């Protein structure tokens, strides 16, 4: 139980730190996926510990949401890439103030 | 589910059905037929509102195995969301035609966003709250980038998407921790787990992560950094929608979560939210002082307004929650009015949004200037407007709950905010226009502005009836 949770926490932290330090939109998005999967792992671990099925069902819901998010996110990235020709978020700086 | 329970979900079904219908109609309608698409959206909103009316007075119900609550609180918010969605669709009409983005998907996404917001207000289960937030967020990510050829719009969409999905991931991890601590995601079960003797160790970090996720959606400092860029870059009608809808929905979800699931941790979260309220008001107002772009100024103003609303949450009394509901209605009216003027005047390319563009507006378009003026006075909280009454109730509830310091800071902040709201008024009424030319606004927008002026003054002079309605709605929250 504790091992699962430790791994999940590690994944979450790697995702969080990665999101903050990465300079590529795709890599940042992958870090978010890592965080979602960390939550999934925690759900499954807790469900096993509690002897429930609920937590495992949540994982499926989260997967569906993650897939929808990926579809929307990649579409947005493609649109922006067509406009600017770069995926570096630091260069997306038209607005200031 | 029995038919009786399904009846309670009819409004949601209408919205989603109309959204699908709009997507199907879009490829088959010619440019001239776009009007019809908008009519479908508005009609769906009207029918859903009527279906909700039939549910009023049934008393609180729990359906879907305790996942969904239908009570005064959720009905109140669903109505508010329907009004916001309908008005956003009407406000967007002329703008979208001008910018060439008058497509069926736009209205379909507004409707799905509305159903997501409604789920957030009805939810009595963390998983459903999460799904509601995601339905809302995915729709608004796309709406923010709806002007595909515009770099600012794309940027705004990307920033919203990246930071938004980051925040939902944090929220989801918080849900996982709370699930582990309480053994369930249902609010009542969490409440029981927190009340039974010792508070489970994972509950507090879980609550913290949940507050980060919801705080992001509301736009609380320090999770506000996305708001100015996203609001500035998104098409103006979308900004109008985002500044009222998702904010109100996130506050509804926050209230349900804190009051229904975690009343046992009230000392912890009031302390945390106290700090966030102060930071949000002060930073929002301070940053708004130096903005020359009206959209960006209104974005910072929206941050500050969220701080005022949070004062009612910190008070954690029935009066505080009633004041929140009242203020949310006033806030919706005044913000939609302000953005309605902004999007009408912004001109081709949505570019004329600087203070200088408003110089001499009173001479060029007296009615528009007067309507925007009333909205700004209400946002600043000048007496005789609904904004004053709303703030009065909010800060009054904080004083009664013993948070005098917070109320004083909030009042000082309101005084500070007068500066930047009045600066825009000064530009409109006391500066000469650089180049003449009358401004014209479309008839529907004009009608909305007129009704808005009436509502703001009415709520400012005789708020009793409305306050009673808000107080009645809050009874479901327990």
> In this complex, do A65 and B134 lie within 8 Å of one another by their Cβ atoms?
yes
Q: Does A15 touch chain B (CB under 8 A)?
A: yes
Please tell me the distance in Å from B121's CA to the nearest CA on chain A: 19
Q: Does A4 touch chain B (CB under 8 A)?
A: no
Confidence tier at A93 by pLDDT (50, 70, 90): low
Which pLDDT score is estimated for A95? Answer: 67
Which pLDDT score is estimated for B476? Answer: 78
Residue pLDDT, tens place only, B99-115: 888 888 999 999 999 99
Which pLDDT score is estimated for B253? Answer: 96
> In this complex, do B154 and A38 lie within 8 Å of one another by their Cβ atoms?
no
Residue pLDDT, tens place only, A9-40: 999 999 999 999 988 889 999 999 999 999 99
Which three-class secondary structure state does DSSP give residue B327? helix
Q: Decide: B260 and B191 in contact? Cβ < 8 Å.
A: yes
- B175 contact residues in A (CB cutoff 8 A): 39
Average pLDDT over residues B229-245: 94
Give the nearest partner residue to A95 out of B130, B232, B292, using CB atoms: B232
From 1.10.3720.10, 1.10.1370.30, 1.10.287.3510, 3.40.640.10, which CATH number describes the A2-86 domain? Answer: 1.10.287.3510
Chain A residue with Cα closest to B167: A32
B223 shares its domain with B279:
no
B234 shares its domain with B276:
no
Please tell me the distance in Å from B289's CA to the nearest CA on chain A: 11
Number of domains making up chain B = 2
B464 shares its domain with B397:
yes
Average pLDDT over residues B53-65: 83
DSSP readout, chain A? -HHHHHHHHHHHHHHHHHHHH--SHHHHHHHHHHHHHHHHHHHHHHHHHHT-SHHHHHHHHHHHHHHHHHHHHHHHHHHHHHHHS---GGG--S---
Q: Does A74 touch chain B (CB under 8 A)?
A: no
Q: Which of A12, A51, A73 is CA-nearest to residue B175?
A: A12
From the candidates A12, A14, A34, A39, which should be mutated to test the interface with B, based on the most B CB atoms within 10 A?
A: A39
B106 shares its domain with B196:
yes
> In this complex, do B296 and A97 lie within 8 Å of one another by their Cβ atoms?
yes
User: Given B239, B261, B283, which residue is the final one in a domain?
Assistant: B261
- For chain A, the domains span 2-86
Average pLDDT over residues B399-405: 94
Q: Which of B223-227, B373-377, B424-428, B435-439 has the lowest mean pLDDT?
A: B435-439
Q: Does A50 touch chain B (CB under 8 A)?
A: yes
Distance of alpha carbon B118 from alpha carbon B114, whole angstroms:
6
Which pLDDT score is estimated for A82? Answer: 85
B157 shares its domain with B280:
no
Percent of chain A clearing pLDDT 70 (strictly above): 92
Give the distance between the most distant pair of CA atoms in chain B: 71
Please tell me the distance in Å from B242's CA to the nearest CA on chain A: 18
B246 shares its domain with B289:
no
User: Given B261, B286, B304, which residue is the final one in a domain?
Assistant: B261
**Sequence-distant (≥ 6) Cβ neighbours of residue A96 within 8 angstroms:** none
> In this complex, do B180 and A46 lie within 8 Å of one another by their Cβ atoms?
yes
Which pLDDT score is estimated for B86? Answer: 94
B301 shares its domain with B224:
no
The domain of B272 spans 265-478
Confidence tier at A97 by pLDDT (50, 70, 90): very low
User: Given B229, B261, B293, which residue is the final one in a domain?
Assistant: B261
Please tell me the distance in Å from B352's CA to the nearest CA on chain A: 15
**For B259, which DSSP code?**
I
Please tell me the distance in Å from B178's CA to the nearest CA on chain A: 10
Residue pLDDT, tens place only, B182-213: 889 999 999 988 887 777 888 899 999 999 99
Which pLDDT score is estimated for B194? Answer: 84
Q: Does A87 touch chain B (CB under 8 A)?
A: no
B369 shares its domain with B468:
yes
Q: Which of B469, B455, B386, B464 is CA-nearest to residue B76?
A: B469
pLDDT at residue B163 is higher than 80? yes
Which pLDDT score is estimated for B30? Answer: 78
Phi then psi dihedrals of residue B431, to 5 deg:
-110, 150
pLDDT at residue B401 is higher than 50? yes
Please provide the average confidence, as pLDDT, over all residues in chain B.
91
Distance of alpha carbon B259 from alpha carbon B313, whole angstroms:
9
Confidence tier at B441 by pLDDT (50, 70, 90): confident
Residue pLDDT, tens place only, B412-437: 999 999 999 999 999 999 887 766 56
Q: Decide: B60 and B71 in contact? Cβ < 8 Å.
A: yes
pTM of the model: 0.94
Distance of alpha carbon B121 from alpha carbon B77, whole angstroms:
6
> In this complex, do A29 and B165 lie within 8 Å of one another by their Cβ atoms?
yes
B316 shares its domain with B352:
yes
Give the nearest partner residue to A72 out of B141, B180, B185, using CB atoms: B141
> In this complex, do A35 and B142 lie within 8 Å of one another by their Cβ atoms?
no
Please tell me the distance in Å from B161's CA to the nearest CA on chain A: 7
Chain A residue with Cα closest to B150: A83
Percent of chain B clearing pLDDT 70 (strictly above): 99
Most confident of B61-65, B351-355, B356-360, B458-462: B458-462
């Amino acid at each position: 139980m504790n091992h699962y949770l430790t791994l999940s926490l590690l994944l979450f932290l790697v995702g969080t730190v990665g999101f903050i330090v990465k300079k590529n939109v795709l890599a940042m998005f992958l870090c978010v996926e890592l965080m979602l999967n960390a939550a999934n792992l925690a759900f499954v671990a807790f469900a096993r510990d509690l002897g429930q099925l609920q937590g495992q069902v949540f994982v499926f819901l989260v997967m569906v949401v993650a897939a929808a998010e990926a579809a929307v996110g990649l579409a947005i990235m493609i649109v922006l890439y067509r406009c600017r020709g770069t995926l570096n978020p630091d260069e997306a700086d038209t607005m200031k103030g | 589910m029995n038919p009786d329970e399904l009846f309670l979900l009819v409004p949601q079904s209408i919205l989603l059905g109309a959204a699908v219908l709009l997507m199907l109609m879009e490829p088959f309608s010619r440019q001239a037929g776009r009007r019809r698409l908008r009519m479908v959206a508005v009609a769906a909103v009207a029918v859903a509102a009527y279906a909700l009316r039939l549910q009023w007075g049934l008393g609180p119900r729990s359906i879907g195995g305790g996942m969904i609550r239908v009570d005064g609180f959720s009905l109140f918010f669903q109505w508010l969301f329907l009004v916001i969605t309908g008005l956003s669709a009407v406000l967007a009409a002329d703008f979208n035609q001008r910018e060439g983005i008058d497509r069926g998907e736009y209205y379909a996404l507004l409707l799905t966003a509305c159903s997501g917001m409604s789920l957030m207000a009805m939810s009595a289960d963390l998983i459903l709250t999460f799904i509601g937030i995601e339905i809302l967020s995915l729709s608004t990510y796309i709406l923010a980038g709806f002007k595909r050829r515009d770099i600012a719009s794309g940027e705004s969409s990307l920033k919203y998407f990246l930071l938004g999905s980051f925040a939902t991931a944090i929220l989801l991890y918080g849900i996982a921790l709370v699930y582990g601590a309480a053994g369930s995601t249902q609010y009542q079960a969490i409440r029981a787990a927190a009340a039974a003797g010792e508070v489970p160790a994972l509950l507090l970090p879980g609550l913290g992560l949940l507050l980060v996720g919801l705080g992001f959606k509301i736009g609380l400092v320090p999770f506000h950094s996305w708001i100015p860029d996203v609001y500035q870059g998104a098409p103006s009608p979308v900004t109008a929608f985002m500044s009222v809808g998702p904010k109100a929905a996130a506050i509804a979800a926050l209230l349900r979560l804190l009051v229904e699931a975690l009343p046992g941790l009230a000392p912890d979260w009031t302390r945390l939210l106290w700090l966030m309220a102060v930071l949000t008001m002060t930073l929002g107002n301070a940053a708004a002082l130096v903005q020359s772009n009206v959209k960006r100024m209104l974005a910072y103003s929206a941050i500050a307004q969220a701080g005022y609303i949070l004062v009612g949450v910190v008070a954690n009394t029935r009066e505080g929650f009633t004041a929140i509901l009242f203020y949310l209605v006033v806030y919706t009216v005044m913000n939609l009015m302000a953005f309605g003027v902004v999007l009408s005047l912004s001109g081709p390319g949505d570019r004329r949004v600087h203070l200088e563009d408003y110089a001499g507006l009173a001479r060029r378009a007296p009615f528009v200037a007067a309507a925007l003026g009333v909205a700004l006075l209400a946002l600043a909280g000048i007496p005789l407007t609904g904004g004053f009454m709303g703030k009065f109730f909010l800060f009054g509830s904080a004083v009664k709950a013993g948070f005098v310091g917070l109320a004083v800071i909030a009042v000082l902040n309101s005084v500070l905010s007068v500066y930047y709201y009045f600066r825009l008024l000064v530009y409109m009424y006391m500066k000469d226009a650089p180049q003449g030319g009358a401004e014209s606004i479309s008839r529907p927008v004009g009608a909305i502005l007129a009704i808005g002026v009436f509502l703001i003054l009415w709520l400012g002079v005789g708020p009793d009836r409305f306050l009673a309605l808000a107080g009645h709605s809050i009874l479901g929250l327990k």
